[in-house]
Structure 1
């Protein structure tokens, strides 16, 4: 308690003293690519990084920035700009932002269309132990950010530690977790990023309700401001700066089995066989610590197969790969003293050091250890050679664990600074090392890089994060929507969880199935748990397994839609999971996590309470909403209560949505879009609607860059004459792409019809489903109001219902 009081007193005294040190404007210099402002205590450099983005560096007393930018994916851009000087201010104008520099009293603010959305308070400050920036908070402003926390979506009023740290067994509250980020997204439609990877804090109106601040023990005194007119534009602009997720391999969106852990080759092979026997689709299996040794402790850092238990790993992986199942191996950055690689690590000087330059050794749960200096090029080469060897041997994906790092003594020195100075970017650099290694040695492979810790912008290295060692309890399930939504807004669009829960021995089939049903509409579908309770549905009772199988099969049916969401994230930065305030721009929905959007078209309301038989949730206004399970129509702008037994997750579809779905298959190795069902959710309120479906070979890294893909465009128009649906194939295609696609167009709530035409030719509306199945054409189900039309798509198909 005394320590906490002293920290608060220090914090308050810093700013009490600094209030008297008003910064003074001295002069400015305008350059084509930046603006420099000289003050009495240093120099401020404002650099455009886009039409809507600036970087601000404060160089105190001529000091240079000690670190490169970790947040930015690229350098400054050439942007048209100009400076206008007025008696008491400068106006630095970019195409979509103005920076206003008031001379006396000195203050910098940011505006769009003459409306100030952000302003410095004191701006840069320097104290004995920390440095940073202070900004004003506007009265109604709400703030999302600080990385991974369980505090509610709106983080205003909190003082958040910036230090990636494990949060074992968390439930409904967690102040500090694995993946903190020094950034925020404001309801004023801007993102603010403190480009500093050191240990620190961000104070969002906790100490002073009208001030937010970022502070760190050292590092770059730099921040980025990104603006946008609405949330989708802001996401686009923000990820244009920090980088976008590369398109994942399609198999990574399939079902992945995992536990802590499989002890033997026989366990791995038996588990995969059980998935196949029970007809549960599977695309990957994770082998945890036991691939390196027989026990939990003492073997971390061997980074090689323990042959007594895995006698033929290459043959095992080859057989699994032939069956369409990828092998994923866990690695950690800790090299235990005495393990197989210890002598090599010491000899090659790849470990963090003490003050004398010797390998820094310390104790933690798994044993006495050193830590790889991930910032040292020589260490990266050493570490990557291990990844390369195993990838060549058949490993299909990589899992980087404990990358906060979980234990990171302050006295440990890296090649570029102390542990505290670079702690928060350790996982970021680790992901970059693996991503760059694949780009060099496996240039046509889309790698899977599972990691639980990173920095702003880590998504550009293909990092797939998860929410850590969550409690296997209802309390652990409860915050998962909040975590994924908030992290998606901060760039980590593939944030997911250990489906079923990780920590603890609770065996509750209801909890397990509710978690797995939620996972259907998650970026990654991966079960994982401590081995006391089965993570895999194949080891549950028949009823639980059967229900879980139905959810997983639905996940695979939705692959065309989900893969298109991945494409949209890669090209626009929009997260896959989206908060409802993206759909209805309403600040009162900022903290709402009882439901969320899955892409543009699905609204998902997970059941998070034991024993619940129904779910009450809000439907955004401006749309009609259609129950995914029974086609019942609901009006937006109000709450609804939907019955939800254990077999059904409450899911709504937006009226006017196109949902492409595929047949069920055992693995994505069998995946093809030659047969599709295209659902169109018609409603009288929707006169025009559009949709799309992305398709490529699922694995080539350069498919987007080379244009090797198909993009199916969907369009619907409704008027007094009836309904017209057009499906058109665009793009130049890809190897083994279907030359034509057999599509069943399923119109929900189809209008009354007298005839159905395909490409101007009348087709017969069959009187029974069986005749339609046998002879084709169309079929109208009078009891459900659904119209089915079979078509063959080569280039374009037009369906008219009159």
Structure 2
């Protein structure tokens, strides 16, 4: 017998079960072109003059053996035709290279015609590697979606996985191409789902990752971190994660710059295992910060073992170079440096803070991508943790390695303003779990208002993580900016933990459907407004968020945001104020306000009680229910297991059935494992915006006892009862007339907002009385004329926009620059925008638009103007004079 050949490979937990070879029935070869019909809207186009086609998994594409779609093809000596439900391909054979003349595809959904080499200038963008040091907007990378209805993905440069579990070059000629053509029209949701079938699902997050995180680049000792965590708990601000930044390790040494390190700094953490155990006992998970670029040197506690493993003499004090081309290094990197810190000390996950440059040791592999892939699969090697990392975007396919760290942003309003657009647009590449440095990372100017607005956005972002750099004047503690900010921050951070049932359900949805928690408006609406809203986004299936992103006006002390609500009926989540859909609104608010809208019929499950460090399935489940439409919401819960064989799940289905005078709310018998649900669960159902409701509750057809209260002022019916998951429930709520309460809170809101105006108190009082009378008598805006002398133009503008749902805004980000003009309540105010003009300095521009009627809204493209200093001026007092005094 011959000697056994040893093949070096990565450890078993890095060996992935790829399914990269498509079924024979899906493949068509026409000379130099191999076409694989992957789905009815995705084709693989592999061109190779050598006809050495490649079925190995690439860095991007892992699965090609999918359910075979219906398609047909025919070919002769000159031509190949392929047709699916979504596309038609035509290829002229005997081609030495691909060209616009020999390869064409028709997209059926929108009658678009593509040819090889055609440029797409309508791509809806994806995301960006890192926002380190960036203030404001950047141009995002190309994404998977385009208004053209097609996208071409070039995977030619990807390396391929081999039998070692790691990567190698394809060694193909220069003419070789590996392309994926996506044809979808405007069905964005389906194409994302289909693409995830090729590249892998968006993983299910650990539930605790959806709570509040604390992080700061600071030389904390273990005792100082303990005291800080106790202060959060004492102030009733819940947390689920406490990150330890890079000073956990030995920064000062004679071998490295100090960024890289794997040995505890015993001065700060004399007993690290006891400290991590203390965090765990308070319900907190933790991560250590990593910068692996400098390798491993003799000052590290792990150096001798690792050096011997790498067949180096430890006495030589030779550094162990970071090298992802060396399989021994990769195996040892985890075995000696990371696994003991997890298994012995209790570290839960790793923060890969990059600092890698572009040299991985393996040509063609970005070290960021390599580290993300390897750390993600190593963490769950024992199946007792879910795969999970915290790192920067490594390119298309990175959705497989959540979550993302967006980098060290500059503290500024421009940085905050970019983040909602940046976050929502990342869903176009399936990268839905971004974590930002909430409050901003560095430089800039600390500002309590900016901090508050950033924190509010953080609550309604994928991951809520407070963080800043090492500067004593950067403070991310909620109580570090005064009493008013503290009370607001406390309220919103408590709400974040209440939202965990809703957020975790959307982690399940992301895994199953490839739809991210946060996504652009155009996923569900294809109208012009939906493509022109960088500042607002869907927050799950039930809500739309539109954060305040600019400082309050100095004359009104109010923040303003322009919002478009899609067709249907909508409610302010907090106040219950009613809004008609398919309309624009100017939303104003003080520092405590956040624009959040629930759709008609919305069902939003929340934790009824919150405790510091507790992100488990809640014993008391509170459900917010809005009237006006039929709806269904499926709540997903599980036992938190990492191994699929041990995962036990439970699905609770809530249904809203709506009629004008009757709402029937049903809770179906639980599907799955009842043991997942807390044994003594209590349900609190808050039915919002109802008039004089009459209630009946039955369980499995029998009436049950329940607690009931009704707040007539806000129209909320609260019902409470003990919940048995083995039973079904039906709640009938009736009113002999109209059940829904369409609250018009404009007058009450204006009276509240007037407190913020820089205005004499006596004027505020008289103005409030006049507004109340005008609303009661259903008269127009002429009453405002007599306040013209005492109101600033901005105060007048604010009042008119709040009363009559009209306004103007400049909509700007890295991809768009538009002027929006809209008007709303035409019955009470029928002016046109006759004085609207674009001005620069004191000079009128040629774009002056006199007496132009704006029917609903108008968007003016400003990219044709060579200056970014243009602004809109509308003289509202002139409107009043011209329209209501003649």
Give the TM-score category using the shorter length. Answer: 0.7 to 0.9
Determine whether 1:195 maps to 2:155. Answer: yes
Determine whether 1:748 maps to 2:712. Answer: no
Match of 1:147 in 2: 127
CA deviations 1:693-722 (Å, max 9, x no partner) are 11112x21246x767211111112123662
Residues 299, 339 of structure 1: 8 Å contact kept:
no
CA deviations 1:329-386 (Å, max 9, x no partner) are 11123125755357877776699xxxxxxxxxxxxxxxx9986233543222122222
Which runs of no fewer than 5 residues in structure 1 stay unpaired?
Answer: 1-29, 122-133, 149-163, 200-215, 352-367, 764-774
Match of 2:134 among 170, 187, 204: 170
What is the 5 A alignment of 1:612-623? Answer: 612=553, 613-623=558-568
Determine whether 1:527 maps to 2:477. Answer: no
Say which SS state the counterpart of residue 516 (structure 2) adopts: coil
CA deviations 1:261-292 (Å, max 9, x no partner) are 34322222222121112111011111111111
Mapped to 2, the partners of 1:505 and 1:319 lie a distance apart of 35
Match of 1:224 in 2: 180
Distance 1:306 1:757, change over 3 A: closer
Displacement of 1:615 in angstroms is 2.4
Say which SS state the counterpart of residue 568 (structure 1) adopts: helix
Determine whether 1:388 maps to 2:339. Answer: yes
CA deviations 1:168-199 (Å, max 9, x no partner) are 321223347xxx5x653112444432225579
Say which SS state the counterpart of residue 145 (structure 1) adopts: coil
Residues 520, 551 of structure 1: 8 Å contact kept:
yes
CA deviations 1:415-434 (Å, max 9, x no partner) are xx2xxx323xx323322212
Residues 126, 426 of structure 2: 8 Å contact kept:
no
Residues 560, 661 of structure 1: 8 Å contact kept:
yes
Distance 1:336 1:236, change over 3 A: closer
Match of 1:788 among 691, 694, 718: 718
Mapped to 1, the partners of 2:615 and 2:530 lie a distance apart of 41
| Greater displacement, 188-197 / 576-585 | 188-197
Mapped to 1, the partners of 2:504 and 2:492 lie a distance apart of 17
Distance 1:643 1:167, change over 3 A: closer
Residues 725, 799 of structure 1: 8 Å contact kept:
yes
Distance 1:791 1:335, change over 3 A: same
Mapped to 1, the partners of 2:265 and 2:173 lie a distance apart of 42
Displacement of 1:591 in angstroms is 4.3
Mapped to 1, the partners of 2:207 and 2:267 lie a distance apart of 34
Match of 1:55 in 2: 44
Say which SS state the counterpart of residue 551 (structure 1) adopts: helix
Mapped to 1, the partners of 2:199 and 2:674 lie a distance apart of 29
Which runs of no fewer than 5 residues in structure 2 stay unpaired?
Answer: 1-22, 160-171, 313-317, 735-886
Match of 2:782 in 1: none
Residues 437, 465 of structure 2: 8 Å contact kept:
yes
What is the 5 A alignment of 1:720-759? Answer: 722-733=662-673, 735-739=675-679, 741-759=681-699
Distance 1:67 1:376, change over 3 A: farther
Displacement of 1:536 in angstroms is 2.8
Mapped to 2, the partners of 1:219 and 1:328 lie a distance apart of 45
Displacement of 1:569 in angstroms is 0.6
Match of 2:231 in 1: 274
Mapped to 2, the partners of 1:350 and 1:587 lie a distance apart of 64
Determine whether 1:676 maps to 2:621. Answer: yes
Give TM-score scaled by structure 2 length.
0.70
Mapped to 2, the partners of 1:222 and 1:602 lie a distance apart of 40
CA deviations 1:495-534 (Å, max 9, x no partner) are 1311000021622111111000001111101011112112
Displacement of 1:778 in angstroms is 2.5
Distance 1:332 1:59, change over 3 A: farther
Displacement of 1:95 in angstroms is 5.5
* Higher CA-based Rg: 2
Match of 2:266 in 1: 307
CA deviations 1:650-703 (Å, max 9, x no partner) are 1111111001111242345363333112111102xx2x2211211112x21246
Mapped to 1, the partners of 2:286 and 2:732 lie a distance apart of 48
Say which SS state the counterpart of residue 750 (structure 1) adopts: coil
Identify the structure with bigger relative contact order (alpha carbons < 8 Å, sequence gap 6+): 1
Match of 2:214 in 1: 257
Mapped to 1, the partners of 2:524 and 2:241 lie a distance apart of 34
Mapped to 2, the partners of 1:739 and 1:299 lie a distance apart of 50
Match of 2:831 in 1: none
Residues 722, 801 of structure 1: 8 Å contact kept:
yes
What is the 5 A alignment of 1:583-594? Answer: 583-594=524-535
Determine whether 1:84 maps to 2:84. Answer: no
Residues 756, 778 of structure 1: 8 Å contact kept:
no
Match of 1:400 in 2: 352
Match of 1:320 in 2: 279
Match of 2:869 in 1: none
What is the 5 A alignment of 1:120-131? Answer: 120-121=115-116
Residues 614, 641 of structure 1: 8 Å contact kept:
no
CA deviations 1:291-329 (Å, max 9, x no partner) are 112459733333121112211000000011011111211
Distance 1:589 1:102, change over 3 A: farther
Mapped to 2, the partners of 1:668 and 1:269 lie a distance apart of 13
Aligned residues: 673
Displacement of 1:117 in angstroms is 4.3
Displacement of 1:491 in angstroms is 1.1
Say which SS state the counterpart of residue 30 (structure 2) adopts: strand
Determine whether 1:632 maps to 2:561. Answer: no
Distance 1:602 1:720, change over 3 A: closer
Mapped to 2, the partners of 1:680 and 1:481 lie a distance apart of 26
Match of 2:145 in 1: 185
| Greater displacement, 485-494 / 92-101 | 92-101
Say which SS state the counterpart of residue 286 (structure 2) adopts: strand
Residues 109, 118 of structure 1: 8 Å contact kept:
yes
Match of 1:119 in 2: 114
Mapped to 1, the partners of 2:72 and 2:305 lie a distance apart of 56
Residues 376, 388 of structure 2: 8 Å contact kept:
no
Residues 48, 77 of structure 1: 8 Å contact kept:
no
| Greater displacement, 383-392 / 549-558 | 383-392
Mapped to 1, the partners of 2:45 and 2:339 lie a distance apart of 39
